[in-house]
Every structure is written in structure tokens, then in C-alpha cells.
Amino acid sequence: MRILITGGKGVIGSFVARYMLEHGDDIIVYDPMPDTSLIADLLEHITVVDGDVLDLPLLLNTIKLNKVRKILHLAALIVPAAQINPYRGFQVNALGTMNVLEASRITNCERLVFTSSKAVYDEIGGAHAHPTYAPITEEYPKNPVNVYGATKLASEHMCFNYIGNYGMDIVILRFSSLYGPGRLLRHGGLAMHSVILENAMLGQPVRIPSGGDQREDMTYVRDVARAIALATHAENLGHHVFNIGSGRGVTLHDTAEVVRRLYPNAEIQIGPGLDCFQVGYNLYAVMDISRARAELGYQPEFELETGIKDYIAFLDRLGIGPLFTPTEEAAE
Ligand SMILES: NC(=O)c1ccc[n+]([C@@H]2O[C@H](COP(=O)([O-])OP(=O)(O)OC[C@H]3O[C@@H](n4cnc5c(N)ncnc54)[C@H](O)[C@@H]3O)[C@@H](O)[C@H]2O)c1
């Protein structure tokens, strides 16, 4: 099956491309990013187009020339980039999705998978918040707290319009936070779990002043990639929207504990408190993934420790060195 992945050079896209290639699909990556380090091992086996989702003619040509049958739309500006430049964020995320919807409609694409986020939800409150973390379902109220979430919700609404108006087959996946190789490279210090691991790999200290008590659903990138592959090919779906997560909450302390087991000399200090990503609002939640389990056959396979071990092995395999991130002194 010919599959086009927008944003396929990114953290998740690279793993989706790898997973689907291994499972017999033909992959066309559509992404203008000059850095191909995350797909370095795939370059001989896939088609790469340095295309922008805002370039509708090129997108259409790419789909037609390569006889693409399904599209996985991952291209996006993530939270900080969209917040710093809301105009660009809306352009790439929301108008970019419009172009992908139009291209899918015009070319009679068989299925479009849109990668959304838990950022479409309202702030997490009541029993869903610390310390009880009752899992949130797809019905949790929507009221995005940042530009990124607003662009994702706008895109979801347009997906529903295309489903209603044209009968298109669209699956929307709402991801929790995730960790994996490449996140630090691409998303910087926001990837706190990567900072803890990669500093320890380099023998460098980590001092995070606060946030150690916050639980967050952290999914390993290979589980996310598998969820996308399942959503690409699943049949007889009863819903269009699925939460994808690990279904459990972990803290920075949990990550530090695993990293210390693997690197006994690691010097890690993490202060107490909530808001581990220091964003100033509460989107920390555990995802209820029962719908994805039932309809997509999705089952997270990686525990925190197996995920971190795979992360280390993968960096080694691709020859990507760990990155050093300076951190602050922990509060006494
Ligand atoms: N990483 C997370 O924690 C997370 C959580 C929830 C949802 N998501 C969603 O999953 C998808 C993939 O995220 P990721 O973590 O791999 O991000 P990423 O930043 O690693 O990858 C995004 C890719 O999109 C590409 N891109 C940006 N603008 C583009 C454009 N105009 N045209 C084509 N490509 C463009 C980038 O070059 C990049 O390779 C995104 O839609 C993101 O919103 C990610």
C-alpha cells in the first residue's frame, strides 16, 4: 500500500515510516526539513519529497505521481513554536490540514489519519487531576489552553466537516505526551525525560528545581508509531477519534529511578511539586485508551524501563549521540 506521511522526518513520523516499511507498505515522506538524521537508515528504501503542506500543487502532484492511497498527516509546529508565532502556527497546523484534506478529497484517498493531541482538551480538573488521575476519555471537554491546541481542535472540526460533507474516511488520533529518540534534538528542553536520560548518558548532572511529583501519561514513540499504523489499516471502525497513550502516569522521579539503574553514577536531583514541564497550566492527565484497545487493537507494549532501554539502543544504532542540556540547581 502506498502511504504518504507528512512530517515524516520528525520524531514520530520517522518511527511510523520505519514501522510501516517493515510491515510491507511503500512509504513517501513529505517534509521540507533538511535534517534527515532520524530517517537515515530508511533513505534507500523510501521516497522522500522535500515538500511543504502549504504547497497544495506540490502535495497534489506528489500524491498523484506516487499513486498514494492513504495519507498520514503528522506535519505540525509543536507547542512552543506555535505559541511564539501564532500566525505561522495556525498556518502550518490548521491551513496545512486544510490542504491535506483538500488533497485527500481531490485524489479520492482511501483513508486520512490526522494526528491530534490531548491539547484539544480543557485544563484537567477534579478526579482527573493530581493526585487521583482518573483517566480522561475522548468525551472530556474541549477548550484548548494554547495556540497549538486551538489549531489542533480547528483541524479536527474541519476533518469532521469533510467526513460529513464528502463521506471521507478520516481517523483522528489524540496523543498524550511522549518520549523517544530525537525528541531532545527536535523539541529541546521541553523533553524533560530525554534531558534526564541523555545528560546521564554523557555523565552530566541533572538538576531540576521542581515538578517531580507530577504524573503524566508518557508514551514511548514506538507505541505511538504502532497506533498510527493500526489506525491506517483498521477496518469497521465505530468512531473517528481515539485517545492514544500508555494508560498510566509516570513522574520525573520514576524516569530518574530507571536511569539510575542503568547509569549508577548518574547525578540527578529533582525537586518536588507539580507542573513538570513548567508550562503554567494543567494538561497533565492519564489517557483512557479503552476505545483504541477495542477498535484499533492498540496495546502499549513498552514500560518505562523497556522504552528507555530501546531509546538508548536506537541512538546507538543510528549513530545519534546524546545531547547535553544545562539544567538549574535543584531547590533545597
Ligand atoms: N511529540 C508529542 O509529544 C506529540 C504529542 C501530541 C501530538 N503530537 C503530534 O504528532 C505529530 C508529529 O509530532 P512529532 O513529535 O513527530 O513532531 P516533530 O516536530 O518531530 O515533527 C513534525 C515534522 O513536521 C514537519 N513540518 C513542519 N512544518 C511542515 C510543513 N509546513 N510541511 C510539511 N512538513 C512540515 C517538520 O519538519 C517535522 O519533521 C504532530 O502533528 C504533533 O502535533 C505530538
Q: What is the CATH number of the domain that holds 253?
A: 3.90.25
C-alpha cell at 248: 498510566
Mean pLDDT score across all residues of the chain? 96
Please give the model's pTM, rounded to 2 decimal places.
0.97
Query: Which pLDDT band, with edges at 50, 70 and 90, does 31 fall under?
Result: very high
Task: Looking at the CA of residue 175, tell me the nearest atom of ligand 1.
Answer: 6
Q: Is residue 208 part of a domain?
A: yes
| Amino acid, single-letter form, for residue 220 | Y
**258 shares its domain with 238:** no
49 and 119 together in one domain: yes
Domain holding 160: CATH number?
3.40.50.720
- Is residue 291 situated within a structural domain? no
Amino acid at 326: P
Cα 165 to middle of ligand 1, angstroms:
27
Phi-psi region of 211 (alpha: psi -120 to 50; beta: other; left: phi over 0): left
253 and 239, same structural domain?
Answer: no
From 4, 6, 9, 11, the mutation candidate for ligand 1 (largest count of ligand atoms within 8 A of CB) is 11
What are the cell numbers at 224? 505511538
Whether 59 and 123 map to the same domain: the answer is yes
Residues 59 and 157 in one domain: yes
327 part of a folded domain: no
Using most ligand atoms within 8 A of CB, pick from 97, 99, 175 the residue to mutate for ligand 1: 175
Residue 12 Cα: closest atom of ligand 1: 16
30 and 157 both lie in a single domain: yes
Residues 166 and 67 occupy one common structural domain: yes
pLDDT in tens, 131-182: 999 999 999 999 999 999 999 999 999 999 999 999 999 999 999 999 999 9
Number of domains in the chain: 2
Query: What percent of the chain lies above the pLDDT cut of 90?
Result: 95
326 domain-assigned: no
Identify whether residues 207 and 224 lie together within a single domain. Answer: no
232 with 192, same domain: the answer is no
104 alpha carbon to ligand 1 midpoint, in Å? 19
* Confidence band of 332 (pLDDT split at 50, 70, 90): very low
Range of the domain at 307: 180-218+248-281+302-318
What is the grid cell recorded at 230? 493500526
| Ligand 1, residues at Cβ distance < 6 Å | 6-7, 9-13, 31-33, 52-54, 74-76, 78, 92, 96, 115, 117, 175, 177-178, 186
Gap from CA of 96 to ligand 1 centroid (Å) = 12
Distance from the CA of 6 to the center of ligand 1, in angstroms?
A: 9
Shared domain for 91 and 62, answered yes or no, is: yes
pLDDT score, position 189: 72
Q: Choose one of 6, 30, 31 to mutate for the ligand 1 pocket test, by most ligand atoms within 8 angstroms of C-beta.
A: 31
Whether 167 and 259 map to the same domain: the answer is no
Q: What digits encode the pLDDT tens for the residues 227-236? A: 999 999 999 9
Residue range 37-61: average pLDDT? 97
Q: How far is the CA of 68 from the centre of ligand 1 (A)?
A: 20
Q: How many CB atoms neighbour CB 125 within 10 A?
A: 11
The torsion angles phi and psi of 211, rounded to 5 degrees, stand at 105, 0
Whether residues 121 and 190 fall in one domain: no
Distance from residue 39's CA to the centre of ligand 1 (Å): 14
Split at pLDDT 50, 70, 90, the class of 329 is low
